[in-house]
Structure 1
């Protein structure tokens, strides 16, 4: 559900994303049916790429998360926050231990933001990502700058 919330925040900034020339691609390791249902349920206009072999995930170091990464306090807090907004969790058939992340690649193919989520609740702030692009500060970022992006 925090992943859905992250994409929802990005979707709410759709006009700004478009104005900045950002092309969003959602990558999923799920099967085609699940990915298309997800795309439909979340009203995503962006393409969804299915990576069942997880080559993309492995290439960017998005490995499996441990038990406490998935079921720790930050995750429970994020789920509670979403439930208080009326967003009830849905049972997943997928691999809950697969880490997610955010990767920002510039037009020249350079990775400008590489965030590996520690767990479901660990996502960079969408407004901070857009601000980086807007101010053209999409150069290599220090670990301190990356920490500032996290909620």
Structure 2
């Protein structure tokens, strides 16, 4: 059985983070990284061209056409709209098991890939413990 904890990392203000959590209904724990140390340690940055890439804008427009709601942020709380995120899976020691820096705001690894990386780590952990006397 896999034992995992999901955490959202944001670089914004406390007020913006709370508003985002409320509007998205996200129940995961959130850490604020106002200095973006975590972002930099994972090699993440900002990109005007990747965020505003035509294909990404088309996909977002399809969401709008399907009447999907997006978080409604006051302009004063918008910080770096070009910041690219990512998805990372770490074990309890901090070893990176999966690294997926996003190529655009909609780029995410599949759930299958995340679970496979976790499962691979669980298997190697169990193998190491079975070898110990």
- What range is the shorter-chain TM-score in? 0.7 to 0.9
Q: Distance in 2 between matches of 1:74 and 1:107?
A: 37
- For structure 1, the residue ranges without an aligned partner over 5 or more in a row are 1-18, 140-151
Instruction: Tell me the residue number matched to 2:28.
Output: 46
* Residue deviations 1:64-90 (CA, integer Å, cap 9, x gap): 11x221111231133133224421445
Aligned 1:107-118 pairs, distance under 5 A = 107-118=92-103
Aligned 1:66-145 pairs, distance under 5 A = 67-90=48-71, 92=73, 93-133=78-118, 136-138=119-121
Q: Over aligned residue pairs, what C-alpha RMSD do you find?
A: 2.1
Aligned residues, how many? 118
- For structure 2, the residue ranges without an aligned partner over 5 or more in a row are 123-133
8 Å Cα contact 1:113/1:138 also seen in 2: no
SS in 2 for 1:108: coil
Task: From the superposition, tell whether residues 108 and 90 of structure 1 become closer, same or farther in structure 2 (CA, over 3 Å).
Answer: closer
Question: After TM superposition, where is structure 1 displaced by more than 6 Å over at least 4 residues in a row?
Answer: none
Following superposition, the deviation at residue 39 of structure 1 comes to 1.1
Q: Distance in 2 between matches of 1:130 and 1:32?
A: 31
Stretch of structure 1 that moved more, 68-77 or 31-40: 68-77
